[in-house]
């Protein structure tokens, strides 16, 4: 996922936000655990979406390749 600049940028922003929250919090453990659970769910969701997009691109390429092969065989 780190090859996607938008993902890296979002992670950096999240890191800054949690750092600021942790510095001002009286219950850092609770803040950290809540954030960790939230960010895990977000990352899993992004990973799932990226995987779906990758699969879609592969399927589109496969379809184009098959159509090209059929066109070559017909001519």
Token pair in block for residue 56 = 């879609």
Whether the per-residue pLDDT at 60 is higher than 90: the answer is: yes
Work out how many domains the chain is built from and give that number: 1
Domain that holds residue 40: 5-74
Which pLDDT tens digit goes with each residue over 17-35? 999 999 999 999 999 999 9
Nearest partner of 42 among 75, 17, 63, judged by Cα: 17
Cα distance between residue 4 and residue 49, in whole Å: 13
pLDDT of residue 46: 86
pLDDT, residue 10, reads: 87
Instruction: Please state, in angstroms and as integers, the Cα–Cα distance from residue 61 to each residue in 11, 41, 64, 69, 70, following that order.
Output: 31, 30, 5, 12, 14
Tokens describing residue 2: 């780190």
């Amino acid at each position: 996922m780190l090859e996607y600049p938008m993902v890296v940028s979002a992670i950096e922003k999240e890191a800054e936000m949690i750092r600021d929250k942790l510095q001002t919090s009286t219950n850092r453990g609770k803040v950290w655990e809540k954030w960790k659970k939230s960010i895990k769910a977000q990352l899993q969701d992004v990973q799932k979406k990226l995987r779906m997009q990758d699969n879609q691109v592969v399927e589109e390429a496969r379809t184009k390749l098959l159509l090209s092969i059929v066109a070559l065989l017909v001519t």
